[in-house]
């Protein structure tokens, strides 16, 4: 509450107390995440609750499925694929991104909950791969900020598991999750706006 009238106490009678909620919230945030070192706990907790969203755009989806199968079992790293972008914080771009899919990727990324992380998987997600120099393929790093890249065509499940471990390491070393909560935005990566609107073809 920003403004309160002190009526009950006789000493404060007739006085109006005013405060700025944003300033108070920032102070509380700085104390909790800065002085009390709760940020490290946030980072540690985030590494064990990575929820990737299904965005299977290409054949890397098969390797993605194999990574969560009993043999490689990526769930032991605290990552479980989930269906709705609203309930996830982690996206794995599985292969080629066409122009129509770039729009879906951007919309999915915007819908995800903070703090969110991106892994680009496979040669197609790096620079086009097989479909290099194509008229209908865009690069994912022009659409969303990518944290970890995986090489390979397609990368084996071990590589994807390793990338998840690398992302966990990066989150704890760079304090990505707690910094995001503190500042409200990610300072360590550039947040790309697409050069051309990926959804310009879309008509409701």
Residues that bind another protein (CB under 8 A): 99-100, 126-128, 132-136, 139, 141, 146, 189-190, 200-201
CB 53 within 8 A of CB 81: yes
- The SS3 of residue 96 is coil
Of 70 and 204, which has the nearer Cβ to another protein? 204
Of 128 and 156, which has the nearer Cβ to another protein? 128
Q: Provide, rounded to whole angstroms, the least separation between the CB of residue 97 and another protein.
A: 13
CA torsion through residues 171, 153, 112, 202, sign: positive
CB 93 within 8 A of CB 119: yes
Q: Provide, rounded to whole angstroms, the least separation between the CB of residue 141 and another protein.
A: 5
Two tokens at 98?
């066409």
Of 173 and 190, which has the nearer Cβ to another protein? 190
Q: Is 198 exposed, middle or buried (0-12, 13-18, 19+ CB in 10 A)?
A: buried
Our separate counts of H helices and E strands in the chain read: 7, 8
Q: Provide, rounded to whole angstroms, the least separation between the CB of residue 128 and another protein.
A: 7
Q: Provide, rounded to whole angstroms, the least separation between the CB of residue 133 and another protein.
A: 6
Of 72 and 141, which has the nearer Cβ to another protein? 141
Per-position DSSP letters for 123-170, written without gaps between them: HHHHH-GGGTT-SSEE-GGGTS--SEEE-SSSPPHHHHHHHHHHHHHH
Q: Provide, rounded to whole angstroms, the least separation between the CB of residue 67 and another protein.
A: 24
* Residues across the chain: 204
Q: Provide, rounded to whole angstroms, the least separation between the CB of residue 92 and another protein.
A: 17
Of 90 and 149, which has the nearer Cβ to another protein? 149
Of 33 and 103, which has the nearer Cβ to another protein? 103
């Amino acid at each position: 509450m920003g403004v309160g009238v002190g009526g009950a106490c006789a000493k404060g009678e007739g006085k109006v107390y005013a405060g700025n909620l944003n300033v108070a919230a920032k102070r509380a945030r700085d104390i909790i995440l800065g002085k009390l070192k709760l940020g490290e706990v946030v980072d540690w907790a985030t590494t064990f609750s990575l929820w990737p969203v299904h965005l299977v755009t290409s054949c890397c989806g098969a390797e993605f499925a194999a990574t969560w199968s009993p043999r490689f079992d990526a769930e032991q790293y605290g990552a479980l694929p989930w269906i709705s972008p609203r309930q996830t914080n982690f996206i794995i771009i599985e292969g080629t991104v066409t122009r129509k899919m770039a729009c879906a990727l951007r919309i999915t990324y915007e819908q995800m909950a903070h703090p969110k992380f991106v892994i680009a998987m496979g040669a197609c997600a790096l620079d086009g791969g097989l479909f290099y120099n194509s008229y209908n393929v865009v690069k994912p790093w022009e659409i969303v900020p990518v944290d970890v890249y995986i090489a390979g065509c397609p990368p084996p499940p071990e590589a994807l598991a390793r990338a998840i471990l690398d992302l966990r390491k990066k989150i704890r070393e760079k304090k990505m999750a707690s910094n995001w909560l503190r500042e409200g935005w990610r300072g360590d990566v550039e947040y790309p706006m697409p050069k051309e609107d990926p959804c310009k073809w879309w008509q409701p």
